[in-house]
Structure 1
Amino acid sequence: MAFDEGDAPGRVVNGLSVDVEDWFQVGAFEGVIERDSWGGLDDRVERNVHAILNLFDEAQASATFFTLGWVAKRHAGLLREIAARGHEVASHGWDHERVFRMDRKSFAADIERTRKTIEDCCGERVIGYRAPSFSIDQRTPWAFMELAEQGYLYSSSVAPVAHDHYGWADAPRFAFNPLPWSDLVELPVTTAQFRGKRLAAGGGGFFRVLPYAFSRWAIRQVNRDEGRPAIFYFHPWEIDPGQPRVAGAPLRSRLRHYTNLEKMAGKLRQLVREFAWGRIDVIAHREALRLEAEKATLHRASA
Protein backbone atom coordinates (compact mmCIF):
# COMPACT_ATOMS: atom_id res chain seq x y z
CA MET A 1 0.00 0.00 0.00
CA ALA A 2 1.25 3.45 -0.85
CA PHE A 3 1.67 6.13 1.77
CA ASP A 4 2.35 9.85 1.73
CA GLU A 5 6.09 10.50 1.65
CA GLY A 6 5.93 13.89 3.29
CA ASP A 7 6.01 12.70 6.90
CA ALA A 8 9.13 13.47 8.90
CA PRO A 9 11.44 10.47 9.45
CA GLY A 10 10.76 8.77 12.76
CA ARG A 11 7.49 10.59 13.34
CA VAL A 12 4.61 8.28 14.26
CA VAL A 13 1.75 8.52 11.77
CA ASN A 14 -1.66 8.21 13.40
CA GLY A 15 -4.91 6.93 11.95
CA LEU A 16 -7.51 9.62 11.22
CA SER A 17 -11.12 8.60 10.63
CA VAL A 18 -14.58 10.05 10.13
CA ASP A 19 -17.71 8.04 10.94
CA VAL A 20 -20.05 9.29 8.23
CA GLU A 21 -23.54 9.46 9.69
CA ASP A 22 -26.02 12.31 10.06
CA TRP A 23 -27.27 13.99 13.23
CA PHE A 24 -30.41 11.86 13.39
CA GLN A 25 -28.60 8.51 13.07
CA VAL A 26 -26.59 8.58 16.28
CA GLY A 27 -26.93 6.11 19.13
CA ALA A 28 -27.84 8.90 21.55
CA PHE A 29 -31.16 9.47 19.79
CA GLU A 30 -32.05 5.95 18.69
CA GLY A 31 -34.80 5.79 21.30
CA VAL A 32 -36.59 8.92 20.09
CA ILE A 33 -35.99 9.04 16.31
CA GLU A 34 -37.43 6.14 14.31
CA ARG A 35 -35.43 4.85 11.35
CA ASP A 36 -38.55 5.07 9.21
CA SER A 37 -38.50 8.86 9.67
CA TRP A 38 -34.91 9.43 8.53
CA GLY A 39 -35.80 10.15 4.91
CA GLY A 40 -37.90 13.17 5.88
CA LEU A 41 -35.36 14.84 8.17
CA ASP A 42 -32.89 17.64 7.38
CA ASP A 43 -30.02 15.95 5.50
CA ARG A 44 -26.86 17.81 6.53
CA VAL A 45 -24.16 15.17 6.05
CA GLU A 46 -22.95 16.28 2.62
CA ARG A 47 -22.29 19.92 3.57
CA ASN A 48 -20.49 18.80 6.74
CA VAL A 49 -18.31 16.26 4.93
CA HIS A 50 -17.34 18.92 2.38
CA ALA A 51 -16.20 21.17 5.24
CA ILE A 52 -14.15 18.30 6.67
CA LEU A 53 -12.55 17.56 3.31
CA ASN A 54 -11.50 21.19 3.01
CA LEU A 55 -10.11 21.15 6.55
CA PHE A 56 -8.06 18.04 5.74
CA ASP A 57 -6.81 19.64 2.52
CA GLU A 58 -5.54 22.63 4.50
CA ALA A 59 -3.42 20.35 6.68
CA GLN A 60 -2.56 17.90 3.87
CA ALA A 61 -3.98 15.12 6.01
CA SER A 62 -5.42 11.88 4.65
CA ALA A 63 -8.11 9.88 6.41
CA THR A 64 -10.63 7.05 6.24
CA PHE A 65 -14.34 7.78 5.99
CA PHE A 66 -16.33 4.92 7.55
CA THR A 67 -19.67 5.42 5.83
CA LEU A 68 -23.16 4.12 6.50
CA GLY A 69 -24.67 2.28 3.56
CA TRP A 70 -27.83 4.35 4.07
CA VAL A 71 -25.79 7.51 3.47
CA ALA A 72 -23.83 6.03 0.56
CA LYS A 73 -27.02 5.11 -1.30
CA ARG A 74 -28.19 8.73 -1.16
CA HIS A 75 -24.84 10.47 -1.68
CA ALA A 76 -22.91 8.48 -4.27
CA GLY A 77 -21.30 11.62 -5.63
CA LEU A 78 -19.98 12.52 -2.20
CA LEU A 79 -18.29 9.12 -1.87
CA ARG A 80 -16.67 9.54 -5.26
CA GLU A 81 -15.36 12.93 -4.19
CA ILE A 82 -13.94 11.52 -0.94
CA ALA A 83 -12.05 8.86 -2.90
CA ALA A 84 -10.93 11.31 -5.60
CA ARG A 85 -9.40 13.54 -2.92
CA GLY A 86 -7.17 10.72 -1.73
CA HIS A 87 -9.08 9.32 1.22
CA GLU A 88 -10.23 5.78 1.94
CA VAL A 89 -13.94 4.93 1.97
CA ALA A 90 -14.82 2.05 4.28
CA SER A 91 -17.92 0.48 5.82
CA HIS A 92 -19.81 1.62 8.91
CA GLY A 93 -22.67 -0.83 8.44
CA TRP A 94 -26.00 -0.06 6.81
CA ASP A 95 -28.09 1.94 9.27
CA HIS A 96 -26.14 2.17 12.52
CA GLU A 97 -27.59 -0.97 14.08
CA ARG A 98 -25.25 -2.13 16.82
CA VAL A 99 -23.58 -5.47 16.19
CA PHE A 100 -24.54 -7.00 19.54
CA ARG A 101 -28.21 -6.46 18.62
CA MET A 102 -27.85 -8.64 15.51
CA ASP A 103 -27.23 -12.33 15.00
CA ARG A 104 -24.56 -13.59 12.63
CA LYS A 105 -26.94 -14.00 9.69
CA SER A 106 -28.29 -10.45 9.87
CA PHE A 107 -24.80 -9.06 10.46
CA ALA A 108 -23.53 -10.91 7.38
CA ALA A 109 -26.30 -9.41 5.27
CA ASP A 110 -25.66 -5.94 6.72
CA ILE A 111 -21.95 -5.80 5.93
CA GLU A 112 -22.36 -7.40 2.51
CA ARG A 113 -25.06 -4.96 1.48
CA THR A 114 -23.06 -2.00 2.73
CA ARG A 115 -19.83 -3.09 1.04
CA LYS A 116 -21.50 -3.61 -2.33
CA THR A 117 -23.30 -0.26 -2.14
CA ILE A 118 -20.14 1.67 -1.28
CA GLU A 119 -18.09 -0.09 -3.96
CA ASP A 120 -20.76 0.70 -6.56
CA CYS A 121 -20.69 4.35 -5.48
CA CYS A 122 -16.97 5.04 -5.47
CA GLY A 123 -15.54 2.28 -7.67
CA GLU A 124 -12.97 1.16 -5.11
CA ARG A 125 -12.70 -2.03 -3.08
CA VAL A 126 -13.86 -1.79 0.54
CA ILE A 127 -11.48 -3.58 2.92
CA GLY A 128 -12.22 -1.87 6.25
CA TYR A 129 -15.12 -1.90 8.69
CA ARG A 130 -16.07 -0.01 11.83
CA ALA A 131 -19.00 -1.22 13.91
CA PRO A 132 -21.58 1.40 14.87
CA SER A 133 -20.88 2.58 18.43
CA PHE A 134 -17.82 0.27 18.59
CA SER A 135 -20.26 -2.59 19.17
CA ILE A 136 -18.02 -5.59 18.54
CA ASP A 137 -17.22 -7.05 21.94
CA GLN A 138 -17.09 -10.29 23.92
CA ARG A 139 -20.74 -11.00 23.00
CA THR A 140 -20.06 -11.16 19.26
CA PRO A 141 -17.14 -13.56 18.54
CA TRP A 142 -18.78 -14.43 15.21
CA ALA A 143 -18.48 -10.86 13.92
CA PHE A 144 -14.75 -11.14 13.23
CA MET A 145 -15.32 -14.50 11.56
CA GLU A 146 -17.89 -13.02 9.22
CA LEU A 147 -15.69 -10.04 8.37
CA ALA A 148 -12.78 -12.33 7.51
CA GLU A 149 -14.94 -14.67 5.42
CA GLN A 150 -16.32 -11.73 3.42
CA GLY A 151 -12.83 -10.50 2.57
CA TYR A 152 -12.44 -7.54 4.88
CA LEU A 153 -8.78 -7.01 5.80
CA TYR A 154 -9.21 -4.92 8.92
CA SER A 155 -11.70 -3.72 11.49
CA SER A 156 -11.61 -0.73 13.83
CA SER A 157 -14.58 -1.69 15.94
CA VAL A 158 -13.39 -2.20 19.51
CA ALA A 159 -13.30 0.34 22.33
CA PRO A 160 -11.07 -1.27 24.98
CA VAL A 161 -12.69 0.59 27.88
CA ALA A 162 -15.59 0.25 30.29
CA HIS A 163 -18.40 2.60 29.26
CA ASP A 164 -22.16 2.73 29.71
CA HIS A 165 -22.71 2.99 25.94
CA TYR A 166 -20.17 0.49 24.63
CA GLY A 167 -16.83 -1.08 25.48
CA TRP A 168 -14.77 -4.26 25.76
CA ALA A 169 -12.61 -3.50 28.77
CA ASP A 170 -10.42 -6.61 28.50
CA ALA A 171 -9.55 -6.20 24.83
CA PRO A 172 -5.98 -5.31 23.81
CA ARG A 173 -5.25 -1.61 23.55
CA PHE A 174 -3.40 -1.89 20.26
CA ALA A 175 -3.67 -3.81 17.00
CA PHE A 176 -4.29 -7.53 17.30
CA ASN A 177 -5.37 -10.54 15.23
CA PRO A 178 -8.75 -11.61 16.63
CA LEU A 179 -8.74 -14.92 14.73
CA PRO A 180 -5.86 -17.42 14.86
CA TRP A 181 -6.60 -18.65 11.31
CA SER A 182 -6.93 -15.22 9.66
CA ASP A 183 -4.77 -12.17 8.99
CA LEU A 184 -7.69 -9.87 9.82
CA VAL A 185 -6.40 -6.99 11.96
CA GLU A 186 -8.43 -5.21 14.62
CA LEU A 187 -7.36 -1.63 15.37
CA PRO A 188 -9.01 -0.56 18.65
CA VAL A 189 -9.82 3.10 19.14
CA THR A 190 -7.13 4.81 21.23
CA THR A 191 -6.92 4.73 25.00
CA ALA A 192 -4.33 6.28 27.30
CA GLN A 193 -3.02 4.99 30.62
CA PHE A 194 -3.23 6.97 33.85
CA ARG A 195 -2.42 5.45 37.23
CA GLY A 196 -3.12 1.99 35.95
CA LYS A 197 -6.47 2.87 34.40
CA ARG A 198 -7.47 3.08 30.76
CA LEU A 199 -8.90 6.38 29.60
CA ALA A 200 -10.89 6.78 26.39
CA ALA A 201 -8.82 9.14 24.24
CA GLY A 202 -9.66 8.35 20.63
CA GLY A 203 -11.91 11.25 19.73
CA GLY A 204 -15.66 11.70 19.41
CA GLY A 205 -17.41 13.19 22.40
CA PHE A 206 -14.34 12.86 24.61
CA PHE A 207 -12.34 15.08 22.27
CA ARG A 208 -15.17 17.56 21.88
CA VAL A 209 -16.02 17.89 25.59
CA LEU A 210 -12.63 17.64 27.28
CA PRO A 211 -9.88 20.29 27.00
CA TYR A 212 -7.64 19.96 23.95
CA ALA A 213 -4.67 19.49 26.27
CA PHE A 214 -6.00 16.08 27.30
CA SER A 215 -6.00 14.77 23.73
CA ARG A 216 -2.54 16.20 23.10
CA TRP A 217 -1.23 14.47 26.23
CA ALA A 218 -2.91 11.16 25.34
CA ILE A 219 -1.69 11.04 21.74
CA ARG A 220 1.82 12.03 22.78
CA GLN A 221 1.78 9.25 25.36
CA VAL A 222 0.78 6.68 22.76
CA ASN A 223 3.23 7.99 20.16
CA ARG A 224 6.25 8.84 22.30
CA ASP A 225 6.07 6.50 25.27
CA GLU A 226 4.57 3.45 23.57
CA GLY A 227 5.73 4.01 20.00
CA ARG A 228 2.31 3.22 18.54
CA PRO A 229 -0.13 5.07 16.29
CA ALA A 230 -3.26 6.59 17.76
CA ILE A 231 -6.62 5.74 16.18
CA PHE A 232 -8.81 8.85 16.21
CA TYR A 233 -12.41 9.35 15.05
CA PHE A 234 -15.17 11.94 14.92
CA HIS A 235 -18.48 12.53 13.10
CA PRO A 236 -19.57 15.13 10.52
CA TRP A 237 -22.41 16.36 12.75
CA GLU A 238 -19.87 17.29 15.45
CA ILE A 239 -18.75 20.34 13.46
CA ASP A 240 -22.34 21.49 12.88
CA PRO A 241 -23.67 23.72 15.69
CA GLY A 242 -26.66 24.68 13.53
CA GLN A 243 -28.16 21.20 13.42
CA PRO A 244 -31.75 20.68 14.65
CA ARG A 245 -32.31 20.02 18.34
CA VAL A 246 -34.08 16.77 19.19
CA ALA A 247 -37.07 17.19 21.46
CA GLY A 248 -37.74 14.48 24.00
CA ALA A 249 -34.22 13.06 24.12
CA PRO A 250 -32.82 12.21 27.58
CA LEU A 251 -30.77 14.95 29.23
CA ARG A 252 -27.60 12.85 29.21
CA SER A 253 -27.97 12.22 25.49
CA ARG A 254 -28.49 15.91 24.78
CA LEU A 255 -25.48 16.90 26.86
CA ARG A 256 -23.27 14.36 25.10
CA HIS A 257 -24.45 15.31 21.66
CA TYR A 258 -24.61 19.11 21.75
CA THR A 259 -21.78 20.17 24.09
CA ASN A 260 -19.04 22.22 22.37
CA LEU A 261 -20.26 21.72 18.81
CA GLU A 262 -19.22 25.30 18.09
CA LYS A 263 -15.64 24.56 19.21
CA MET A 264 -15.10 21.29 17.38
CA ALA A 265 -13.87 22.57 14.01
CA GLY A 266 -11.20 24.72 15.64
CA LYS A 267 -9.98 21.88 17.84
CA LEU A 268 -9.83 19.55 14.83
CA ARG A 269 -7.85 22.09 12.84
CA GLN A 270 -5.30 22.27 15.64
CA LEU A 271 -5.15 18.47 15.97
CA VAL A 272 -4.58 17.68 12.32
CA ARG A 273 -1.79 20.26 12.13
CA GLU A 274 -0.04 19.20 15.33
CA PHE A 275 0.26 15.46 14.60
CA ALA A 276 0.90 13.33 11.53
CA TRP A 277 -2.17 11.56 10.13
CA GLY A 278 -2.93 8.89 7.57
CA ARG A 279 -5.60 6.55 6.29
CA ILE A 280 -6.63 3.61 8.45
CA ASP A 281 -5.90 1.07 5.70
CA VAL A 282 -2.27 2.22 5.67
CA ILE A 283 -2.04 1.97 9.46
CA ALA A 284 -3.65 -1.48 9.32
CA HIS A 285 -1.11 -2.66 6.77
CA ARG A 286 1.79 -1.47 8.91
CA GLU A 287 0.33 -3.02 12.03
CA ALA A 288 -0.23 -6.31 10.19
CA LEU A 289 3.47 -6.37 9.32
CA ARG A 290 4.30 -5.67 12.96
CA LEU A 291 2.12 -8.55 14.13
CA GLU A 292 3.66 -10.91 11.58
CA ALA A 293 7.15 -9.97 12.79
CA GLU A 294 6.16 -10.52 16.42
CA LYS A 295 4.74 -13.95 15.59
CA ALA A 296 7.91 -14.88 13.71
CA THR A 297 10.05 -13.81 16.68
CA LEU A 298 7.96 -15.89 19.09
CA HIS A 299 8.17 -18.87 16.76
CA ARG A 300 11.94 -18.66 16.54
CA ALA A 301 12.22 -18.29 20.31
CA SER A 302 10.14 -21.41 20.91
CA ALA A 303 11.85 -23.52 18.25
Structure 2
Amino acid sequence: MLNALSVDVEDWFQVGAFERTITRGEWDGLEHRVERNTDAVLALFDDAGVKGTFFTLGWVAERYPALMRRIVAAGHELASHGYDHARVFTFTPEEFRADLRRSRGLLEDAGGVAVTGYRAPSFSIDPRAPWAHRVLAEEGYRYSSSVAPVRHDHYGWPDSPRFAWRPLPDSPLLELPVTTALWHGRTLAAGGGGFFRLLPYGFSRWAIRQVNGEAGRPAIIYFHPWEIDPDQPRVAGAPLRSRVRHYTNLKAMAPKLRRLASDFRWTRVDALVDGEAGRVT
Protein backbone atom coordinates (compact mmCIF):
# COMPACT_ATOMS: atom_id res chain seq x y z
CA MET A 1 0.00 0.00 0.00
CA LEU A 2 1.37 3.39 -1.02
CA ASN A 3 0.69 6.19 1.46
CA ALA A 4 1.22 9.93 0.99
CA LEU A 5 3.76 11.89 3.02
CA SER A 6 3.30 15.66 2.98
CA VAL A 7 5.09 18.70 4.38
CA ASP A 8 3.34 21.98 5.25
CA VAL A 9 6.11 24.45 4.46
CA GLU A 10 5.87 27.38 6.86
CA ASP A 11 8.27 28.96 9.35
CA TRP A 12 8.24 28.57 13.13
CA PHE A 13 6.45 31.89 13.69
CA GLN A 14 3.66 31.32 11.14
CA VAL A 15 1.82 28.57 12.99
CA GLY A 16 -1.72 28.85 14.28
CA ALA A 17 -0.52 28.39 17.86
CA PHE A 18 1.25 31.76 17.76
CA GLU A 19 -1.18 33.75 15.61
CA ARG A 20 -2.35 35.82 18.59
CA THR A 21 1.16 36.30 19.98
CA ILE A 22 3.22 37.18 16.89
CA THR A 23 1.68 39.68 14.47
CA ARG A 24 1.92 39.43 10.70
CA GLY A 25 3.88 42.69 10.65
CA GLU A 26 6.64 41.14 12.76
CA TRP A 27 7.43 38.27 10.41
CA ASP A 28 10.13 39.86 8.27
CA GLY A 29 12.00 41.02 11.37
CA LEU A 30 12.23 37.53 12.89
CA GLU A 31 14.85 34.88 12.25
CA HIS A 32 13.86 32.88 9.19
CA ARG A 33 14.63 29.18 9.49
CA VAL A 34 12.26 27.69 6.91
CA GLU A 35 14.85 27.33 4.14
CA ARG A 36 17.41 25.43 6.22
CA ASN A 37 14.72 23.27 7.82
CA THR A 38 13.10 22.40 4.49
CA ASP A 39 16.51 21.54 3.07
CA ALA A 40 16.96 19.20 6.05
CA VAL A 41 13.64 17.54 5.19
CA LEU A 42 14.72 17.18 1.58
CA ALA A 43 17.91 15.48 2.74
CA LEU A 44 15.95 13.16 5.04
CA PHE A 45 13.60 12.22 2.20
CA ASP A 46 16.53 11.64 -0.16
CA ASP A 47 18.25 9.36 2.34
CA ALA A 48 15.02 7.38 2.78
CA GLY A 49 14.17 7.25 -0.93
CA VAL A 50 10.86 9.01 -0.30
CA LYS A 51 8.91 11.30 -2.61
CA GLY A 52 6.32 13.59 -1.05
CA THR A 53 4.20 16.71 -1.44
CA PHE A 54 5.32 20.10 -0.15
CA PHE A 55 2.28 22.30 0.56
CA THR A 56 4.07 25.65 0.57
CA LEU A 57 3.08 29.18 1.55
CA GLY A 58 3.32 31.74 -1.23
CA TRP A 59 5.06 33.95 1.36
CA VAL A 60 7.87 31.38 1.50
CA ALA A 61 8.07 30.96 -2.28
CA GLU A 62 8.30 34.74 -2.68
CA ARG A 63 11.38 34.89 -0.44
CA TYR A 64 13.03 31.56 -1.30
CA PRO A 65 12.38 30.77 -4.98
CA ALA A 66 15.52 28.63 -5.23
CA LEU A 67 14.09 26.38 -2.51
CA MET A 68 11.01 25.79 -4.68
CA ARG A 69 13.27 24.74 -7.53
CA ARG A 70 15.13 22.32 -5.25
CA ILE A 71 11.85 20.74 -4.14
CA VAL A 72 10.81 20.20 -7.76
CA ALA A 73 14.25 19.03 -8.89
CA ALA A 74 14.21 16.34 -6.20
CA GLY A 75 11.01 14.88 -7.69
CA HIS A 76 8.52 16.10 -5.10
CA GLU A 77 5.14 17.69 -5.72
CA LEU A 78 4.93 21.45 -5.15
CA ALA A 79 1.45 22.41 -3.94
CA SER A 80 -0.23 25.43 -2.38
CA HIS A 81 -0.75 26.23 1.31
CA GLY A 82 -2.17 29.68 0.64
CA TYR A 83 -0.19 32.91 0.80
CA ASP A 84 0.41 33.72 4.47
CA HIS A 85 -1.40 31.07 6.53
CA ALA A 86 -4.68 32.95 6.92
CA ARG A 87 -7.50 30.55 7.73
CA VAL A 88 -9.96 30.04 4.88
CA PHE A 89 -13.07 30.81 6.94
CA THR A 90 -11.68 34.30 7.67
CA PHE A 91 -11.98 35.17 3.95
CA THR A 92 -14.89 36.13 1.76
CA PRO A 93 -15.11 33.93 -1.36
CA GLU A 94 -13.43 36.61 -3.48
CA GLU A 95 -10.69 37.15 -0.92
CA PHE A 96 -10.06 33.42 -0.96
CA ARG A 97 -9.87 33.45 -4.75
CA ALA A 98 -7.34 36.28 -4.63
CA ASP A 99 -5.26 34.41 -2.04
CA LEU A 100 -5.28 31.28 -4.21
CA ARG A 101 -4.18 33.19 -7.30
CA ARG A 102 -1.46 35.09 -5.49
CA SER A 103 0.09 32.02 -3.88
CA ARG A 104 -0.21 29.85 -6.97
CA GLY A 105 1.44 32.49 -9.15
CA LEU A 106 4.41 32.73 -6.80
CA LEU A 107 4.78 28.96 -6.53
CA GLU A 108 4.53 28.33 -10.27
CA ASP A 109 6.89 31.16 -11.16
CA ALA A 110 9.47 29.90 -8.69
CA GLY A 111 9.09 26.17 -9.25
CA GLY A 112 8.42 26.14 -12.98
CA VAL A 113 5.63 23.55 -12.62
CA ALA A 114 1.85 23.61 -12.55
CA VAL A 115 0.33 23.64 -9.07
CA THR A 116 -2.86 21.55 -8.84
CA GLY A 117 -3.03 20.62 -5.13
CA TYR A 118 -4.08 22.73 -2.16
CA ARG A 119 -4.09 22.41 1.62
CA ALA A 120 -5.85 25.04 3.71
CA PRO A 121 -3.83 26.53 6.57
CA SER A 122 -4.85 24.86 9.85
CA PHE A 123 -7.25 22.59 7.92
CA SER A 124 -9.64 25.53 7.81
CA ILE A 125 -12.09 24.30 5.21
CA ASP A 126 -15.12 23.38 7.27
CA PRO A 127 -18.83 24.35 7.47
CA ARG A 128 -17.82 27.98 8.10
CA ALA A 129 -16.58 28.19 4.49
CA PRO A 130 -19.21 26.31 2.44
CA TRP A 131 -18.07 28.07 -0.75
CA ALA A 132 -14.38 27.07 -0.50
CA HIS A 133 -14.47 23.91 -2.60
CA ARG A 134 -16.46 25.68 -5.31
CA VAL A 135 -13.78 28.39 -5.56
CA LEU A 136 -11.01 25.75 -5.68
CA ALA A 137 -12.81 23.96 -8.50
CA GLU A 138 -13.32 27.18 -10.44
CA GLU A 139 -9.63 27.96 -10.07
CA GLY A 140 -8.73 24.60 -11.63
CA TYR A 141 -7.39 22.69 -8.66
CA ARG A 142 -7.35 18.90 -9.04
CA TYR A 143 -7.55 18.11 -5.35
CA SER A 144 -7.68 19.57 -1.86
CA SER A 145 -6.28 18.01 1.31
CA SER A 146 -7.81 20.58 3.64
CA VAL A 147 -10.18 18.73 5.94
CA ALA A 148 -9.49 17.09 9.29
CA PRO A 149 -12.55 14.94 10.10
CA VAL A 150 -12.09 15.26 13.89
CA ARG A 151 -13.02 17.47 16.83
CA HIS A 152 -10.16 19.75 17.87
CA ASP A 153 -9.93 23.11 19.56
CA HIS A 154 -8.11 24.67 16.58
CA TYR A 155 -9.79 22.95 13.62
CA GLY A 156 -11.95 20.05 12.51
CA TRP A 157 -14.98 18.97 10.50
CA PRO A 158 -16.13 15.86 12.39
CA ASP A 159 -19.05 15.19 10.04
CA SER A 160 -16.78 14.99 6.99
CA PRO A 161 -16.09 11.58 5.43
CA ARG A 162 -12.85 10.02 6.66
CA PHE A 163 -11.64 9.14 3.16
CA ALA A 164 -11.66 10.74 -0.29
CA TRP A 165 -14.90 12.45 -1.32
CA ARG A 166 -16.24 14.81 -3.97
CA PRO A 167 -17.43 18.10 -2.46
CA LEU A 168 -19.29 19.13 -5.64
CA PRO A 169 -21.62 17.02 -7.78
CA ASP A 170 -20.56 18.75 -10.99
CA SER A 171 -16.78 18.83 -10.54
CA PRO A 172 -13.95 16.26 -10.49
CA LEU A 173 -12.34 18.10 -7.54
CA LEU A 174 -11.41 15.57 -4.86
CA GLU A 175 -11.07 16.21 -1.13
CA LEU A 176 -8.44 13.98 0.49
CA PRO A 177 -8.76 14.33 4.28
CA VAL A 178 -5.79 13.73 6.53
CA THR A 179 -5.73 10.35 8.20
CA THR A 180 -7.85 9.35 11.17
CA ALA A 181 -8.22 6.05 13.00
CA LEU A 182 -11.16 4.40 14.75
CA TRP A 183 -11.05 3.28 18.37
CA HIS A 184 -14.17 2.00 20.14
CA GLY A 185 -16.41 4.02 17.86
CA ARG A 186 -14.40 7.21 18.22
CA THR A 187 -12.55 8.95 15.39
CA LEU A 188 -8.99 9.79 16.42
CA ALA A 189 -6.67 12.27 14.75
CA ALA A 190 -3.76 10.29 13.33
CA GLY A 191 -2.60 12.34 10.36
CA GLY A 192 0.72 13.50 11.74
CA GLY A 193 1.81 16.94 12.89
CA GLY A 194 1.69 17.40 16.63
CA PHE A 195 -0.08 14.07 17.16
CA PHE A 196 2.83 12.23 15.53
CA ARG A 197 5.42 14.24 17.44
CA LEU A 198 3.76 14.17 20.86
CA LEU A 199 2.42 10.60 21.00
CA PRO A 200 4.47 7.38 21.02
CA TYR A 201 5.49 6.18 17.58
CA GLY A 202 3.48 2.99 18.10
CA PHE A 203 0.22 4.94 17.93
CA SER A 204 0.96 6.23 14.42
CA ARG A 205 2.15 2.83 13.25
CA TRP A 206 -1.06 1.24 14.59
CA ALA A 207 -3.24 3.89 12.96
CA ILE A 208 -1.60 3.61 9.54
CA ARG A 209 -1.80 -0.18 9.66
CA GLN A 210 -5.48 0.08 10.55
CA VAL A 211 -6.20 2.41 7.63
CA ASN A 212 -4.16 0.27 5.21
CA GLY A 213 -5.29 -3.12 6.43
CA GLU A 214 -8.83 -2.81 7.74
CA ALA A 215 -10.03 0.02 5.51
CA GLY A 216 -7.81 -0.80 2.54
CA ARG A 217 -7.03 2.89 2.02
CA PRO A 218 -3.83 4.93 1.86
CA ALA A 219 -2.84 7.12 4.79
CA ILE A 220 -2.17 10.83 4.28
CA ILE A 221 0.37 12.09 6.82
CA TYR A 222 1.77 15.60 7.30
CA PHE A 223 4.36 17.48 9.33
CA HIS A 224 6.16 20.84 9.26
CA PRO A 225 9.84 21.68 8.68
CA TRP A 226 10.05 23.51 12.03
CA GLU A 227 9.18 20.25 13.80
CA ILE A 228 12.68 18.88 13.18
CA ASP A 229 14.35 22.07 14.50
CA PRO A 230 14.93 21.84 18.29
CA ASP A 231 17.07 25.02 18.23
CA GLN A 232 14.33 27.35 16.98
CA PRO A 233 13.56 30.49 19.03
CA ARG A 234 11.18 30.20 21.98
CA VAL A 235 8.10 32.43 22.17
CA ALA A 236 7.90 33.22 25.87
CA GLY A 237 4.66 35.18 25.66
CA ALA A 238 2.60 32.42 24.03
CA PRO A 239 -0.03 30.53 26.04
CA LEU A 240 1.30 27.54 27.96
CA ARG A 241 -0.80 25.08 25.95
CA SER A 242 0.61 26.48 22.69
CA ARG A 243 4.18 26.26 23.96
CA VAL A 244 3.73 22.68 25.13
CA ARG A 245 2.24 21.65 21.79
CA HIS A 246 4.85 23.46 19.74
CA TYR A 247 8.09 22.59 21.52
CA THR A 248 7.58 19.09 22.96
CA ASN A 249 9.64 16.29 21.37
CA LEU A 250 11.30 18.41 18.68
CA LYS A 251 14.54 16.44 19.14
CA ALA A 252 12.69 13.16 18.64
CA MET A 253 10.94 14.17 15.43
CA ALA A 254 13.64 13.44 12.81
CA PRO A 255 14.38 9.93 14.15
CA LYS A 256 10.64 9.17 14.23
CA LEU A 257 10.29 10.35 10.63
CA ARG A 258 13.16 8.11 9.53
CA ARG A 259 11.43 5.18 11.20
CA LEU A 260 8.13 6.07 9.55
CA ALA A 261 9.80 6.29 6.16
CA SER A 262 11.27 2.82 6.65
CA ASP A 263 8.14 1.10 8.01
CA PHE A 264 5.76 2.10 5.20
CA ARG A 265 5.81 2.92 1.48
CA TRP A 266 5.33 6.58 0.53
CA THR A 267 4.48 8.72 -2.47
CA ARG A 268 3.21 12.19 -3.40
CA VAL A 269 -0.39 13.17 -2.68
CA ASP A 270 -1.11 13.77 -6.37
CA ALA A 271 -0.12 10.16 -7.12
CA LEU A 272 -3.09 8.97 -5.06
CA VAL A 273 -5.74 11.10 -6.75
CA ASP A 274 -6.72 8.83 -9.64
CA GLY A 275 -6.90 5.71 -7.49
CA GLU A 276 -8.92 7.42 -4.79
CA ALA A 277 -11.20 9.09 -7.33
CA GLY A 278 -12.08 5.65 -8.68
CA ARG A 279 -13.37 4.64 -5.25
CA VAL A 280 -15.70 7.63 -4.86
CA THR A 281 -19.25 7.06 -6.01
**Normalising TM by the smaller chain, what interval?**
over 0.9
Aligned residue among 101, 117, 124 for 2:113: 124
Residue equivalent to 1:248: 237
Correspondence for 2:274:
285
Corresponding residue for 1:48?
Answer: 37
Residue 177 (structure 2) pairs with residue 175 (structure 1): no
1:259 matches 2:251: no
Which residue of 128, 133, 151 maps to 1:144? 133
Q: 2:227 is matched by which residue type in structure 1?
A: E
Larger Rg: 1
Q: Equivalent of 2:217, from 203, 206, 228?
A: 228
Deviations 1:83-125 (A, max 9, x none): 0000000000000000111111111100111011100001100
Q: CA deviation at 1:59?
A: 1.2
Query: Secondary structure at the residue paired with 1:114?
Result: helix
Structure 2 residue aligned with 1:72, among 55, 58, 61? 61
User: What displacement does 1:126 show?
Assistant: 0.3
2:152 corresponds to: 163
SS at structure 2 position matched to 1:90:
strand
The answer to whether the aligner puts 1:25 opposite 2:14 as a matched pair is yes
Match of 1:212 in 2: 201
Tell me the CA shift for residue 289 of structure 1: 2.6
Q: In the alignment, which of 95, 107, 118 is matched to residue 106 of structure 1?
A: 95
Paired with 1:36 and 1:260, the residues of 2 have a C-alpha distance of 29
| SS at structure 1 position matched to 2:13 | helix
Moved over 6 A (4+): none
Contiguous gaps of at least 5 residues in structure 2:
none
C-alpha root-mean-square deviation of aligned residues, in Å?
0.6
TM-score norm. by structure 1 comes to 0.92
TM-score w.r.t. the length of structure 2 is 0.99
Offset, 1:64: 0.2
Letter in 2 for 1:260: N
Out of 49-58 and 236-245, give the one that drifted further. 49-58
Q: Which residue of 1 aligns with 2:80?
A: 91
What letter matches 2:88 in structure 1?
V
In the alignment, the residues of structure 1 paired with residue 243 and residue 157 of structure 2 have an alpha-carbon distance, to the nearest angstrom, of 24
Q: For residue 134 of structure 1, what is the aligned residue in structure 2?
A: 123
Distance 2:219 2:77 in 1: 17
Which of 136, 142, 146 is the equivalent residue of 1:153?
Answer: 142
Q: C-alpha offsets along residues 45-82 of structure 1, whole Å, 9 cap, x if unaligned?
A: 11111111111111111000000000000010000000
Count of residue pairs brought into register by the alignment: 281
In structure 2, what residue type is equivalent to 1:184? Answer: L
What is the alpha-carbon distance in structure 1 between the residues aligned to residue 276 and residue 109 of structure 2?
28
2:227 is matched with which residue: 229, 232, 238? 238
Counterpart Cα distance in 1 of 2:114 and 2:82: 15
